[in-house]
Amino acid sequence: MDVRIRNHVTVTGRADGPVVMLAHGFGCDQHMWRLVVPILERDFTVVLFDHVGAGRSDLSSWNEERYSTMGGYAEDVLEICRELALGPVTFVGHSVSAMMGVLAVARQPEAFARLVLLAPSPCFIDDPASGYRGGFSAGDIDELLESLDANYLGWSGAMAPVIMGNPERPELGEELTNSFCRTDPDIARVFARVTFLSDNRTDLARVSVPTLVAQCSSDAIAPPEVGLFVQSRIPGSQLVTLNATGHCPQLAAPEETAAAIAAFAGAGG
C-alpha cells in the first residue's frame, strides 16, 4: 500500500518553503487544520495526513496489533517522511500526536528540523508517587473508557464539548462531536486506549531537535502543569502559553496557533 493512499497524504503551499507536517489528534482528521493551513501555506510547504482509521485514510490498512501502541503511529510518520523525501520537516503534533512526534524524533532525528507539541500530554494519569499531575486519576480514565465502550456515540456527545472548551461557541463543540461520531467505534476504542493509557514521560529526554511546547491558557485535558513538565524534560525546549482556551486551538484560535507555528518553524528562513 502506497503510504500516500494509506494516510491520505496531501501537500500544499509553497514548494520552495520550509516543510511543516501537521498531525491531528484522537477522533479527528486533517480537516481540523483547515483554518490554519491557508495562513501557513503562504510561506511553507504544508503536509497533511490522516492517521490510519481516521478521515479518508485506507481503513483496510488498520490492524489492532500495529495501532494499539503509539509506536505504530510514529512509524507511519517516519514512512510518510521517507516517501515524500522533502528533507527535514517541522512536525506539529496536536494532543496525542505530540507524543507520536516525540517517538518519531527519537527514532530518526535526522528526518526532523523542529518539533511543535500543541496541547501535549505525555501521560494523562496522575502519578502521586512522583508528584506528576496529568489531570486525571486512574479511576477517572477507567470510567472514561468504560463509558466509551458502552456507548461511543453518547460518550462523544458528552465528551467532545468538554474537550473543545469554549462553551460560548457551541458550534466548535458540535464540530468535534461530529468528527468523533464519524470514527469507527471499534477503531476509536483502540485509539482511545493508546491516547489515555500511554505513558511517554521518559521518552521526552530523547528529543534532540529544537522543540516548542505550545499549551492553551485553559485546557480541561492538558492542564498547565503538563506543559511545564514537558518543557522541563525536553532539553533546550521553549514553552509558550497561547491565549486560546480549550484543547483544540487550531479551531478555537487559528490565527494565534498558525502564528506560533510559523514563528518557530522559520517562515522565510
Active site residues: 95, 219, 247
Question: Residue 142 to residues 56, 136, 192, 200, 246: CA-CA distances in angstroms?
Answer: 30, 10, 11, 19, 23
R_g of the chain computed on alpha carbons: 17
Which amino acid appears at position 214 of this protein?
A
Residue 54 amino acid letter: A
What amino acid is encoded at 42 in this protein? Answer: R
Residue with cell 511543516: 20
Q: Count of residues for the chain?
A: 269
Q: Which residues on neighbouring strands pair with residue 115, listed in sequence order?
A: 91, 211
- H-helix or E-strand spanning residue 161: helix 152-164
Report how far residue 217's alpha carbon sits from residue 269's, in angstroms, rounded to the nearest whole number. Answer: 29
C-alpha to C-alpha distance for 49 and 29, rounded to whole angstroms = 8
Measured CA to CA, the distance from residue 203 to residue 121 in angstroms comes to 12
